[in-house]
Structures are given as structure tokens and as C-alpha cells.
Amino acid sequence: MDIQFEEIYATYWQKIYRLCLAYVNDADWAKDIAQDTFITVWQQLPKFRNESGIGTWIFRIASNHCLRQVERNKRIPRSDVQTEIPDTSEPSIEDKTTFLYQCIAELAETDRLIISLELEDIKQAEIAQIVGISEANTRVRIHRIKEKLTQKFTRYEQ
Amino acid sequence: MNSNIDLKELWAKQETGIPDTKDLVKRVASFKRAHLKQVIYANILLLLVAVFIVLVWYYFQPEYITTKSGIVLIILAILAYLFSYNQSIPLLLKSSYEMSSADYLQQLLSLKRKQQFLEGIMTNLYFILLSTGLFLYMIEYTMRMKLPLGIFCYGITAGWIAFNWFYIKPKTIRKQREKIDGLINKFHLLTEQLTEKK
């Protein structure tokens, strides 16, 4: 493994892992997809021509590895999300984070990718490039997804 | 938007240990090994059968042209199967991950359709070649038998072929179709998610 790859790996591992986790909502499975993504990055890096930014390129690879998961006969994230809080105490930050990832994993597959990229602070123009839809469409969809998530959070925190 | 900030904050809280890059190398190696093993087993097994058939030809020196053409057809059936098997596995491995999701899904769809076509044609070809080959191969040996035994042998073989043709073959094709159709359908639904809301 060369230094360039090691740097990319260190910079992007958490970001790619988060994208995969939000897609499948299963830590081990997400790790597998993230590793497969970096294998592709490692194999294709010598051919990378900088036509798009390196980040866009890596997120594209990761998104496509996520989409490819329909071929795996593993369970699809179930909607066993706790929408009710078991006791009256305020949910912790960890609980909220878990809830957020569960909520995202319940969205339509491509919405999961779009919102994950948005939350990762990727520019909307780049998200449009990664997913292959127009910028206007990206904007509208992000808005709708955020609304959905906010509604779920409002119910969760009540 | 306040909720926006909250979501981004919560999102970034999720972290996990970074696996060693050596794990990636191991993962590639084990994947390659598993893939190779699968291909080698299937090829060796069927090629052994082919070699066995050729040896039968060599040692028993059949006289009739029907026997020889039967043997050739059976070997062709085996080769057709191997061709299809060896083609369909790497087909999806060739897919490129570097395009946009919309293009990637289109690529997966076209690759799956290719695989479906190949499997359909090859399964039919395999059964036709194998059944015809077997029938031709048996003629010479049946001619040496007494009539009732000959009829019995052909009856059994015809029964076996009919069982394959009317039960095993449709079942095999149906299974292949169901699997690939299911995936094609899922890829379609994913593509729709990207087009519908434009």
C-alpha cells in the first residue's frame, strides 16, 4: 500500500463507514462494504485522472457498493426502530445518533445515500454528480428527507 | 435551520476504529482464493468427465459414426456449460464502480440482462447437445443387444432424458430466471427512485 492510499484511507474511512452504516444499519455489514469500497479505491487509484475531485470519486464508489447490496441475501434493515422512549428520561446523544442512523436506513435506498452525503457536508452540486440527478432535484429531495427526519425526531423527543 | 445543525452533529458522532490496511490485502486475497476455488472445482469436475468419455472412445474403439458423433456432442455439451459458467461469474465482477449511481444501475441492469440471455441459451444448448449425444452414443451398443434388452435400455434412457427435459430443465431455467428477474426488478426499482422524482 502506498502513502497516497494510506492518506486517503485515514481521511475517508470514517466518512465512508458512516455512509455505509446509514445505508444498512448494521455495523459489521457496513464495515464489509466500506472495506470493499477501499479495495476498489486501492485498485483503481493508479487510473484515477482527477476528472472529479477525489472525494466525489470515492463517494461514488462507496454509493455504488451500497446499491450493489441488493444482491446479498442478507436481511434488509427492518423497521424495528424504537419510536417510543421506554422511560421518561431524556435520550442521550448516543441514543439520538443511533436513532438517526436507524431512521436513515428506513428511507428509500437512494434517499439514504443523498441524505448521508448531505450530512457529511458534501456540496449539493457534488451530491448531484455522485448520484446522477440534477442539482435542483437534489435540493428538493434533501429538503423532503430532512423534513421527514425532523418529524421523526420530534415524535421521538416528545 | 436548527434541526439541520443537530442532524449533522449527531451524524458525525458515529465513529468506529479504522481497520488496518493489511486487512484489505487479506480480504482481496481470500476473495480471489474463494473465487478461484469455485471456478477450478466446476471446471476440473466436468473436464474429468470429458476426459473419461474420450478414454472410452480410445479404449473401446467404436465403429459407428453415430457413437463418435454422440461422444463429440456430449463433450460439446460439457464445453458449452463450462463456457456459460466461466462467462457468467466474471460478468458482474467487471462492473465499474466509478460512475454515478444512476449510470451504475443502468450498467448493472444491462449486465444482468446479458447474464440472463447467456444462461437461457446455454442451458437449452446444453440439454439439446447432451440428449442428442447420448441417443447417438447408445445406438452402437444397443445394436449388439437383443431386441427386448435394447428396447429396455432405450426406454430407460428416453425416460431419463424426458425427466431431464420436462422437469429438470424447466426447473433449472425457472430458478435462474427467478433469481435474475428478482435482481433486475430490484435494480429497476432503484433506477425509478432516481428518475421518478426528477
Q: Distance from CA of residue B96 to its chain's centroid?
A: 21
Q: What is the pLDDT of residues A29-80, one digit of tens each?
A: 999 999 999 999 998 888 888 777 899 999 999 999 999 888 876 555 544 4
Q: What is the pLDDT of residues B111-162, one digit of tens each?
A: 888 878 878 888 888 889 988 998 898 888 888 888 888 889 889 988 988 8
- How many domains does chain B contain in total? 1
Given this model, what pLDDT does residue A10 score?
Answer: 92
Given this model, what pLDDT does residue A117 score?
Answer: 96
Summary mean pLDDT of chain B: 83
Q: Residue B9 falls within a domain, yes or no?
A: no
* Pairs of residues, one from chain A and one from chain B, whose beta carbons lie less than 8 Å apart: 124
Cα nearest neighbour of A93 on chain B: B10
Coil, helix or strand for B73? helix
The minimal CB distance from A9 to the residues B16, B21, B100 is found for B21
Q: Give me the half-sphere count of Cα atoms (radius 13 Å) on the Cβ side of residue A124.
A: 10
> Which has more pLDDT, B198 or B108?
B108
Residues B24, A39: C-beta atoms closer than 8 Å: yes
User: Considering only CB atoms, which chain A residues are within 8 Å of B100?
Assistant: 60, 129-132
Q: Are B173 and B118 in contact (CB under 8 A)?
A: no
Coil, helix or strand for B135? helix
Residues 6+ apart with CB under 8 A from B19: A13, A31, A35
Q: What is the pLDDT of residues B9-19, one digit of tens each?
A: 889 888 888 88
CA distance A122 to A129: 11
Q: What is the pLDDT of residues A94-150, one digit of tens each?
A: 888 999 999 999 999 999 999 999 999 999 999 999 999 999 999 999 999 999 999
Q: Residue B18 falls within a domain, yes or no?
A: no
Sign of the torsion angle spanned by Cα atoms A97, A98, A104, A107: negative
Domain A3-157 has CATH 1.20.140: yes
Name residue A97's amino acid: T
B134 lies in which domain range?
34-196
Q: Residue B165 falls within a domain, yes or no?
A: yes
CA distance A18 to A20: 5
Share of chain B above pLDDT 70, in %: 92
Q: A126 vs A112, B136, B175, CA distance in Å?
A: 16, 64, 41
Residues of B (82-141) whose Cβ lies below 8 Å from A: 97-105, 108
Q: Distance from CA of residue A25 to its chain's centroid?
A: 10
* ipTM computed for the complex: 0.83
Instruction: Give the distance from residue B106's alpha carbon to the nearest chain A alpha carbon, in angstroms.
Output: 11
Q: Residue B3 falls within a domain, yes or no?
A: no
The residue among B8, B15, B18, B100 with the most chain A CBs within 10 A of its CB, best to mutate, is B100
Instruction: Give the distance from residue B90's alpha carbon to the nearest chain A alpha carbon, in angstroms.
Output: 15
Given this model, what pLDDT does residue B47 score?
Answer: 87
Q: Are B8 and A121 in contact (CB under 8 A)?
A: yes
Domain ranges of chain A: 3-157
Residue A84 pLDDT class (50, 70, 90 cuts): very low
